[in-house]
């Protein structure tokens, strides 16, 4: 069984989610991969703060304030994020103004924006902006601000102030974690900008794959009751479903 790099990385994290600490030899056996390929994967995971390596073992890191690089986030749960974007596209119509954050999940909306007419997109995501460069029917505004290395995100006071120039029909945002009552971020600067987008949008749609449910971080972005909808790839637990229904927040998920 030959796995692509993104598949190997996802599998490593899946194994560690269950066992927390695993020997390198055990990972080699489970992944049917060479020690050199596994070593490169583990080095990348450690560099992005997802794991810690010891003598012959690997453990899952749980630092709440670690914001992963865009390249890693784009690879992690890629199939699930594409499914979420497909569901989210049902909210798109012509003549909308839309805030889209710099999350990897939201970037998968780009192909669905190409068929719209007279749409306006305001984003702090460089990769989404580049993708929209080839879509003349979409009027794209980029916030400006400080480029956070490795994140593909423009952040800071300049980007926050820029958002004040707009109002939007929708805001598509992602998060670090979500509980039945709150949405969390691991970056204060990201959270401040997302909160500003929410404040200037008529409706906010949260895009969150299953790994975000039950996860917390140090910065509370908003209460779940402020959302129009939550889109994910799997049906969450009964407590999540009950709370969203009680607050009339639409829940959509893949099969």
pLDDT in tens, 60-74: 775 444 454 444 455
**pLDDT at 72 (0 to 100):** 47
**pLDDT at 77 (0 to 100):** 65
In 10 A of CB 175, how many CB atoms?
A: 26
Coil/strand/helix, residue 14: helix
Least confident range from 70-79, 111-120, 155-164, 196-205: namely: 70-79
Coil/strand/helix, residue 189: helix
Which are the contacts of 132, defined by CB distance < 8 A and separation ≥ 6? 110, 113, 121, 123, 138, 140
Instruction: Return d(Cα 97, Cα 201) in angstroms, integer.
Output: 9
What mean pLDDT, rounded, does the chain reach? 87
Query: How large is the angle between the packed helices 24-31 and 35-47, nearest 10 degrees?
Result: 110
pLDDT at 208 over 80: yes
Instruction: Return d(Cα 252, Cα 255) in angstroms, integer.
Output: 10
Coil/strand/helix, residue 199: helix
């Amino acid at each position: 069984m030959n796995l692509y790099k993104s598949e190997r990385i996802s599998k490593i994290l899946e194994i560690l989610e269950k066992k927390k600490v695993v020997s390198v030899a055990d990972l080699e056996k489970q992944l049917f991969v060479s020690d050199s390929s596994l070593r490169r994967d583990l080095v990348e995971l450690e560099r992005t703060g997802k794991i810690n390596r010891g003598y012959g073992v690997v453990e899952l890191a749980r630092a709440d304030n670690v914001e992963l690089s865009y390249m890693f986030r784009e690879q992690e749960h890629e199939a699930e994020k594409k499914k979420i974007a497909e569901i989210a596209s049902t909210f798109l119509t012509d003549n909308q103004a839309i805030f889209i954050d710099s999350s990897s999940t939201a970037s998968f909306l780009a192909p669905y924006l190409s068929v719209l007419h007279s749409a306006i997109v305001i984003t702090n995501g460089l990769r989404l902006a580049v993708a929209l460069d080839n879509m003349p029917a979409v009027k794209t505004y980029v916030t400006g601000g400080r480029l956070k290395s490795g994140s593909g995100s423009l952040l800071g006071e300049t980007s926050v102030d820029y958002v004040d120039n707009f109002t939007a029909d929708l805001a598509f945002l992602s998060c670090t974690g979500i509980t039945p009552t709150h949405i969390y971020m691991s970056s204060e600067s990201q959270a401040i900008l997302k909160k500003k987008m929410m404040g200037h949008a008529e409706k906010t749609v949260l895009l969150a794959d299953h790994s975000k449910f039950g996860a917390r971080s140090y910065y509370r972005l908003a209460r779940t009751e402020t959302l129009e909808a939550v889109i994910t790839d799997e049906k969450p637990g009964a407590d999540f479903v009950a709370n969203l229904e009680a607050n009339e927040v639409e829940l959509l998920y893949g099969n």
